[in-house]
Amino acid sequence: MQQQKKGFIGLLQMFSHFTTSIYNAVSSVCMGFEWFMKQLHSGKREERTGSFCHQEVLCRHHPAHPFQFVLEKRGGSQRVDELTFFLTATPKPFIMEYMQAPATSSQGNILCCTCGIPIPPNPANMCVSCLRTTVDISEGIPKQVNLNFCKQCERYLQPPASWVQCALESRELLALCLKKLKGNMTKVRLIDAGFLWTEPHSKRIKLKVTIQKEVMNGAILQQVFVVEFVIQGQMCDDCHRVEAKDFWNSVVQVRQKTSHKKTFYYLEQLILKHKLHQSALNIKEIHEGIDFYYATKQHAQKMVDFLQCTVPCRSKTSQRLISHDIHSNTFNYKSTYSIEIVPVCKDNVVCLSPRLAQSLGNMGQVCVCARVTSTIHLIDPNTLQIAEVDGGTYWRNPFNSLVSPRQLEEFIVMDTDIIRNQKLGAGAGIRSNKHTLAEVWVQKTSEMDTAQQYHCRTHLGHLLNIGDLVQGFDFANSNVNDEFLNKMNPSRIPDVVLIKKSYNRSKRVKRRNWKLKEMDKDREGMAPEDERQYQDFLEDLEEDEALRKNVNIFRDASKIPVESDTDDEGAPRISLMEMLEDLSLTDATGGEGADMLTE
């Protein structure tokens, strides 16, 4: 029993000693790890490698029982991924080790096989300078190329036979230049392309091109070079036909069966304003109309659509077969568009049919044409009723002009009386607010030695005074053959219809300081009175503000208006605010350009 107790006590002592040893060991490890972390954060590093040094130190906390302390780092030099401790019972000084990752190898340089300078390794084993002198990747690409340009239409030739419109340094011109080089650049890769500045009149276009190509065992070489394009003049086929003046694909024939050309003069100004004459090959002025010749059917159709929206007219179309290809089943036609404008001009006296007069608000059959725009503007001189007749209505109920401008006579106003508060019948249309109804007594200037006077109503009451001259038509002493006028009650036909007030033409021409532009057209069979008709049109523009709002009027700088006390103050004039400056483009190195810069 005693021996068992002694054995148990001895076992307890051994266990206590073993427990003490374990405690001392764990305490030593903890103290060592604390010291190591302080060293790690203190940044104690070796200057050559930038890593922690291998050190052997004795633990100051437990010098009697040192243990081997090993720190292993895994994962890289920037952070500690895993810490492993090894404890051995061998009495050995306390050692701290830093296990670093294997060092990465740095790439060295080689010598160029041609010039011997150090270079980074590459598949060709050559420097860039030697490689460029040995290999030219732009070989086979022309450095000077011809570019065909038509001066008349300002288009460039795009092979094989098409012509394109390109502005200088535009994307379209860049694409055209690269297409000229495309056949020679099949073995290289295009990286960049751009224009270099040249003088606009030098007939040279320079293109900076950047290309790449694989050479010598897979080495990629990049090169920049300049290609010069020389512009050469060449007339395109369309301009050849225009210069020949005997080719056209479509023609628009505009006709008006009247003796006066006021509508044509107004139409000419509208065409100039909208620049529709630029696409015409030729413009020919003939009797009773104008012919417009076009190279394509689309341009002719555009002109027809414009005329139908501008003046009351009707059109007809015809085609003539020129050639036929039986293999491709294609036909070549020449198209003709016939445009007939209504035979009514400004200041014409017309007689409406009873049915049309009733549909326009029970207005009188005898009316005066105030103006012709997209519709016919009519005014009744007896009631001031106004109405508009479009092209479709006119062709369903046609009416003709009763008098031509040459048949107008000059009257002098003897007396005038303004009519106010006139009541219209039931179903009456709109009355004009720009005119004044008046009763006047007039006498022909050719019958001043007689006592014959005429009484009539007029819409010019706001313009006429006693002693003024006025132009009108004498129904009482005229023989007019008209279908609707002959059927009218004679009591409803006025003796005289006054058209417009008359002014001194010579004075108006002298003080006119504006002008109109004209189309370049061939004149054939022109009557000698065209100048007088053109002056009539200019006077209509001065008198009618609504008519000239659609016309571009330019100030005539070469003409100085004459002002004097004897001028007719009642004549209408165009203000300076309504005029445009006529732009004249000349060379900047001479003429008007030089004077403008020195002022």
**Sequence spans of domains, the chain:** 111-237, 247-341+510-582, 348-420+429-502
* Angle subtended at Cα 14 by Cα 10 and Cα 15, rounded to the nearest 5 degrees: 115
| Pairwise CA distance, residues 70 & 50, whole Å | 20
Please check the confidence at residue 388 and state whether its pLDDT lies above 50: yes
Closest CA to 379 of 368, 394, 363, 390: 368
pLDDT, tens digit, 9 for 90 and up, residues 145-196: 999 999 888 899 988 888 999 998 899 999 999 988 887 788 888 899 999 9
Q: What is the pLDDT of residue 399?
A: 92
- Please state, in angstroms and rounded to a whole number, the distance separating the CA atoms of residues 523 and 284: 6
Fold of 111-237: Nuclear Transport Factor 2; Chain: A, (3.10.450)
Confidence of residue 89 (pLDDT cuts 50, 70, 90): very low
pLDDT for position 237: 83
Best mean pLDDT range from 3-17, 95-109, 373-387: 373-387
- What pLDDT was estimated at residue 411? 93
Least confident of 57-61, 364-368, 561-565: 57-61
Q: Cα-atom radius of gyration of the chain, to the nearest Å?
A: 52
Which of 65-69, 312-316, 449-453, 559-563 has the lowest average pLDDT? Answer: 65-69
pTM over the 0.75 mark: no
- For residue 593, the model assigns a pLDDT of 40
Query: Which of 122-131, 276-285, 311-320 shows the lowest per-residue confidence on average (mean pLDDT)?
Result: 122-131
Strands 219-233 and 250-255: unpaired
Higher pLDDT, 134 or 63: 134
CA distance 591 to 599: 13
Q: Is the model's pLDDT at 598 over the cut of 50?
A: no
Backbone φ and ψ for 379, nearest 5 degrees, come out as -140, 135
Structure tokens at 260: 């006066």
**Alpha-carbon separation of residue 242 from 248, 282, 284, 398 (angstroms):** 8, 8, 14, 40
How many residues are recorded in the chain? 599
Express each pLDDT in 467-501 by its tens digit: 999 999 998 888 888 899 999 998 889 999 999 99
